[in-house]
Structure 1
Amino acid sequence: MVNQKKLFSTGHWPSWVTPELVAGKNISFSEIKTVQNWVFWLEGRPEENGRSVVVGRSPEGNMFDLTPPERKVGTRVHEYGGGAWDVRLKNNIPEVIYSDSKEGGVWLSFDNKTKNIIKNEDKNEKRYADLKWDNVGKGFFCIKELHKENIVESTIFYISLEGQETVLDKGNDFYAAPRLSPDGKYLAWFTWNNPEMPWTVTQLYVASFSSEKKTLGSAICLNFGKTCSIIEPRWADEKTLYATSDENGRWTPVRFTHQNEEWVKDNLPDAGAEIGLPHWVFGQRTYVPLTDSKIIALGIENGLNKTFLYCGKEWKKINLGAPFNVPEPLENGMFAWIDTPENAPPALALGDLETGKFDRFKVSVRLPDGIMPDDISIPKPITFTTKGGIEAYALFYAPTSSKYSLIENEKPPLVVIVHGGPTGRSNPGFAFKVQWWTSRGFAVLDVNYRGSTGFGRKYRELLDGEWGVADVEDCIAGAQAVIDQGWVDPKRCVIRGSSAGGLTVLSALAQSSVFVAGTSLYGVTDLRALVAETHKFEARYLDSLIGPYPEKEQVYVKRSPLTQADKINVPVLFLHGGNDKVVPLSQAELMKEKLKDSSLHIYPEEGHGFREKEVIEDALVRELNFYQSVFK
């Protein structure tokens, strides 16, 4: 018998994707690590007020919370955080060091006991990130960010378990990834200075380390004279250091070998994919040296995640699920990763490299009973021609349902999603931010506009000096491309974006008649104010995206949505956190005052990005109701 679908107006299909499903039970996984045959990860729990907790899985398969309920693992170094914890085994019991994003300071948890190693004093705000145990468990390396009056200092520190802090290196604007060699004799790290960003120009250093005196010898720059982004140092053994560099056009691992008191560089062949991510957060891992000549890596090929293996001569693709991170090795020959297929929610997985078989042992959220394959929209990678004849990229999702269908001759409304960064990317893994719309009869276009990651350095640099122009052109051209294909209703196209994507949304509304409404989530509206108000990490970011300030002040004025407000003639919804330190609330408030047909909803306790369960639910419903009212 043929299953007859009900005809129902698109944008109003009854959906299995409820706000409670998205926000309440949808835990998140990040920063997966392995030690011997244990697997560890950071787990975000919206139902616990957005608390993040370190969780461990024993070799027997038992899972334990390793940080106590009163602690919230996280950090605000660079405002975006990451790398707030590390773990080792002591007598086969996990010992965790971590920052607390709520109360500050550094903490140690071991065998159900917790100790405060570093207290956060009232006078000087201290933040810690990129925590990494030393080789003997007596202390750890980290990046310390000190906020004192209007000065922000970044420093590499060694901290003992008694709380004694020792400065290892300082003087540059930013530091990341202090990594000790297996024999404890050398420390590697990378650094950069304003106006550069970590995806434009960095320097990779290595220096001898005295474990007794806790001091460094003379630092050697391993990419001296090279204008490139070289990041993510990782040791294969005491004489072999890897990093990932975009010197030859896209991030690819390079190897440095210590020979005759010198570090000799060896370029690995190109994998045909980008192995590396922009350093917005600490703790990112895109490759793992398995031996001095064998590497497993996560690469981005044509916008899609692929797993690669390098065995001394060439790269080959591996069929191992759909990893979001590079698979991390266990001593028993298995690998662990966060699995993010196109048709199922993220899960933690264990698998075998040889057979490709794997087990998803913990799922982020269980879908309701009765969900069919037809209820989940799968991304279709597309390319389209944007202004100047340049090729741009996007993922298209058609509306889909096992129960409902388009009314005859009806075409679905379109939601264009603009990612943040703007160096971010549209990830093809299952995401409720997409299924929320497609399950209700919307089509979705997730645009990888010029400047996005995953397509090489040249594609990223196409946004240099063109932010607010190239990204806007690409979102308009992408929407027009799917309209021309006949896939969507040209009279019901809307656009939404967060952070940097909010600027693109508002600019697109001002510069085109393609969209009938837009939503800006904690988005940028005034570029001059952003320069004056933003934090140190992004204080000079706009130098490359727009131009140096104040020399290019008129360009800042012209590109700001605030000065284009009189050209926006469609409804706009603003959603913003009252405690946002990256894009202050005032940005949304000033823009809202300029627009007649607009509304602003403030979430007083939220920062840059929404994490609280009730906030996520409210924002989803509020935005859906907004579009439905516009379409009426």
Structure 2
Amino acid sequence: MHSPGAGAADKTEAPYGSWESPITAAAVSAAGRTVEGLAVAGDGRLVWVEKRPEEGGASVLVREATDPGGKAVDVTPREFAVRTLAQEYGGGSGAFAVQGDTVVFSNYDDQRLYRQTIGDRSPFPLTPEYSGPVVRYADGVFDPHFPRYVTVMEDHRNKSLNHVTTITAVTISDQDTNEPTVLVSGNDFYAFPRIDPSQKRMAWIEWSNPDMPWDKSQLWVGELQKRICIAGGDPTLVESPTEPKWSSKGELFFITDRQSGFWNIYKWDERSNVVIQLYALDAEFSKPIQNGRSYVGVLDHDLGTFSTLDIPFSSVTNIVTGDGCFYIEGASATLPVSIAKVNLDEKGTVATNFSIVWSSSEDVTKYKSYFSLPEFIEFPTAIPGQHACAIFYAPYNPSFQGSSDEKPPLLVRTHGGPTDEERGVLDLNVQYWTSRGFDDSQVVPSDQTKQIYKAMKDRGLPVALVEYEGEPHGFRKADNIKFTLEQQMVFFARTVGQFKVADEITPIKIENFD
């Protein structure tokens, strides 16, 4: 990890973009494993979905090793992929759930739900086979009162733009497949169906077009014969409740942004039917909005106290509780995406142990001297009084520097989706560029790839388009990640920087240039 300006006299002066770096495209693709969802099995061991670019982007359910430091064990067979297409983006988060030694998961190819016993490599289908992956399931949970799996279901069989979304129950069986039974319907979107372990009732979140769930949503609790809106039903109070969770005593906790506009933690008092704020803080008890920084804390709702834990992650994306510990998925500017096990002291306010269970790249520390650290910046937009945010990475290489009269090329990354984000954590895809002399800035938003390509081509600008079969959103396969990085480097070298690339790469055709 560098200190700006250190050792400048010992560096070789070379044009920005031409610097030699050990962070190759192959190294980037090899470090591309990611986590998609965490759960704890009945034996106390962690289970997660691991996306593997080196295996064609396979999404594999994996179980934590029995011995500390041991190798994790694959749960699902190679011909299955734990991934849902619900909400189109797809992914492993929300594609499975675990109860005891039983797992239910959504399979990518046919989008059917399957039941499997951990340790047994023979999944059994729970839902019918339709004409393709037209019925999709996500965000499911086991029902502690009945042998069934409660899940959000998207039905695309009518082939209209407005598919039908419901909350359904799927019978868990070892012998038969069954049509799902609809439990809740009538609204446009549903999420977080959660069963009260103390009573036969369920909490869920729902919202309608054109609202997004972080703008306006409703929290409901329902039984077989009645249901009540807990939050979001008052037309004079616009709020977006989310992430409902039941305690073992039947207490309902959730997050909402009423009153202060910040997502804080609340509790539903069932007797008086009022919502109580447990701890007021001008911060989001959810994904970070400002500076990409998140913290892990312990809230004692009886005492009304909150303690922040000292852990080395600056970005946290998932937490699950285990036996006397909790597991956390996170990363930082110098740590790649990892899963860690955290133990607390008796009071539950101090982390006494932090150990890495899994890392997306165990060898990444060997490149540490080449890392460029993120800087969070703001800049004015075309709209008066409004600013946009970006994460800026300056070019850095311990062996090279640019000349004093040359400015480095700036690579700006954008994304068109409202649910994506940049977190300022270690990503070799960024360090690949900065270690070669590029500035890198990650911003939101942009347009669709084909539209941008056509617009640039029609205007006579240099542009190249490569489409990858089976890669509808983002790159999941190692070869595609490597090829894309190399061709981007050649494209910039030829059209913008006019510098010689350090690596040997065969270029593709560039429209309006070749």
Q: Does 1:591 align with 2:440?
A: no
Is the CA contact (8 Å cut-off) linking 2:37 and 2:318 kept in structure 1?
A: no
In 1, the alpha carbon distance for the partners of 2:203 and 2:278 equals: 20
Q: 2:375 is matched with which residue?
A: 380
Distance 1:588 1:605, change over 3 A: farther
Distance 1:431 1:172, change over 3 A: same
Q: 1:317 is matched with which residue?
A: 308
Offset, 1:431: 1.4
Offset, 1:186: 1.6
- Give runs of aligned pairs for residues 192-591 of structure 1, distance below 5 A: 192-208=207-223, 216-223=224-231, 224-225=233-234, 226-247=237-258, 248-259=260-271, 263-277=273-287, 302-312=291-301, 313-322=304-313, 323-332=315-324, 334-353=325-344, 354-367=350-363, 370-371=366-367, 373-386=368-381, 387-422=383-418, 424-447=420-443, 501-503=445-447, 523=448, 587=451, 590-591=454-455
In 1, the alpha carbon distance for the partners of 2:492 and 2:132 equals: 47
In 2, the alpha carbon distance for the partners of 1:608 and 1:407 equals: 39
Give, as a single letter, the amino acid of the residue that structure 2 aligns with 1:129: A
The 3-state SS of whatever aligns with 1:618 is: helix
More helix by share: 1
Which structure has more relative contact order (CA 8 Å, sep 6+)? It is 2
Is the CA contact (8 Å cut-off) linking 1:16 and 1:368 kept in structure 2?
A: no
- Give runs of aligned pairs for residues 80-91 of structure 1, distance below 5 A: 80-81=89-90, 82-89=93-100
Match of 2:60 among 31, 34, 53: 53
In 2, the alpha carbon distance for the partners of 1:362 and 1:124 equals: 32
Q: Does 1:5 align with 2:16?
A: no
Is the CA contact (8 Å cut-off) linking 2:393 and 2:439 kept in structure 1?
A: yes
Q: 2:476 is matched with which residue?
A: 611
TM-score normalised according to structure 2 size: 0.84
Q: 2:85 is matched with which residue?
A: 76
Match of 2:139 among 93, 116, 130: 130
Distance 1:124 1:26, change over 3 A: closer
In 2, the alpha carbon distance for the partners of 1:124 and 1:85 equals: 17
Q: Could you list the runs of 5+ residues in structure 2 that have no partner in the other structure?
A: 1-6, 345-349, 499-514
Give, as a single letter, the amino acid of the residue that structure 2 aligns with 1:13: W
Aligned CA-pair RMSD? 2.4
Q: 1:542 is matched with which residue?
A: none
Q: 1:477 is matched with which residue?
A: none
The 3-state SS of whatever aligns with 1:440 is: coil
In 2, the alpha carbon distance for the partners of 1:119 and 1:502 equals: 39
Give, as a single letter, the amino acid of the residue that structure 1 aligns with 2:394: A
- Give runs of aligned pairs for residues 106-185 of structure 1, distance below 5 A: 106-110=113-117, 111-112=119-120, 113-122=122-131, 125-135=134-144, 138-151=147-160, 152-162=163-173, 163-164=177-178, 165-185=180-200
TM-score normalised according to structure 1 size: 0.69
Offset, 1:301: 5.2
Give, as a single letter, the amino acid of the residue that structure 1 aligns with 2:202: L
Q: 1:103 is matched with which residue?
A: 110
Offset, 1:141: 0.5
The ranges of structure 1 where at least 4 consecutive aligned residues each deviate by more than 6 angstroms after the TM superposition are none
Is the CA contact (8 Å cut-off) linking 1:75 and 1:101 kept in structure 2?
A: yes
In 1, the alpha carbon distance for the partners of 2:306 and 2:389 equals: 25
Offset, 1:391: 4.5
Offset, 1:326: 4.2
Is the CA contact (8 Å cut-off) linking 1:256 and 1:264 kept in structure 2?
A: yes
Is the CA contact (8 Å cut-off) linking 1:271 and 1:315 kept in structure 2?
A: no
Offset, 1:590: 4.3
Q: How many residues align?
A: 463
Give, as a single letter, the amino acid of the residue that structure 2 aligns with 1:55: V
Offset, 1:25: 4.3
Q: Could you list the runs of 5+ residues in structure 1 that have no partner in the other structure?
A: 209-215, 278-298, 450-500, 504-522, 524-575, 577-584
In 1, the alpha carbon distance for the partners of 2:208 and 2:469 equals: 34
